[in-house]
Amino acid sequence: MTITISHHRQILAYSVQKRPIEGVFFGPQTSVRLNTLFIGVFHGDEGNSADLLSRLITHFQAGQFAGEAIDFEQRPVLVIPVLNPDGLVAKTRVNANHVDLNRNYPTPDWQVDNENTPYYSGPSPASEPETRLVMSLIETYQPQKIITVHCPYRVINFDGPAQPLAEAMAVSSGYPVVASIGYPTPGSFGTYAGVERHIPVVTLELPPNPDDVPDPELPPAESLDQNWQSNRMSLDDAIRF
């Protein structure tokens, strides 16, 4: 038997091209602190992250859980399936200003770098409305932990004091846990929230999407159903952790 879970959908801000950035809150609307913040589609060419979080929303709305029910009154959650709607429509990594949103945070290692590439950090730290939204949400709701969903490496990466959380999620998903994604990421969200603000930040890297061009250096592609079966329990476990 399933039950209907109290939730509300809200437009949190607008993108560069004025598309709404929506979030779904589970739990009391007056909560001053979130248990968990989930964010998908930092990069517009990683649409499978939105698919996974949209399915998570649907199952929460229906009161379906992997294991013991989650009391959202005690553990409030905000899910943002698509942070970068302009990039998602254009199928580009960057936003409409050609900025990589995962290089745009005001961190000590931020630098104007990689202009005219998909890794452009922007003209200044926090120059983008999508970046400023996330910063505002952290200030307002003070999440106890944050899960961002990316692809295509099929690993669980962590920043700040998040290694125990990453390892707990890996128990059910079977994804490897890694401290580094393997290349520099100046101005990254993980540095901003995890390293600088000491919020446990986990980056869940899904495998490639079946529509992506195959790359022998990457894990095999997986469908939404496969991603969901691998990660459904780990996403629930992240809230309970």
Which residues of the chain carry a pLDDT beneath 70?
A: 1-4, 30-31
Question: Looking at this protein, which amino acid is placed at residue 95?
Answer: N
Strand partners, 22: 11
Question: Looking at this protein, which amino acid is placed at residue 187?
Answer: G
Which pLDDT score, from 0 to 100, does residue 207 have? 97
Question: Which fold would CATH assign to domain 7-240?
Answer: Aminopeptidase (3.40.630)
What would the pLDDT profile of 177-230 be if each residue is shown by its tens digit? Answer: 999 998 899 999 999 999 999 999 999 999 998 888 889 999 999 999 999 999
Domain ranges in the chain? 7-240
Query: Which helix H or strand E contains 79, and what residues bound it?
Result: strand 77-80
> Phi and psi for 148 in degrees, rounded to 5?
-105, 145
CB 125 within 8 A of CB 110: yes
Which pLDDT score, from 0 to 100, does residue 2 have? 47
The SS3 assignment for 42 reads coil
Which pLDDT score, from 0 to 100, does residue 212 have? 86
CB 84 within 8 A of CB 43: yes
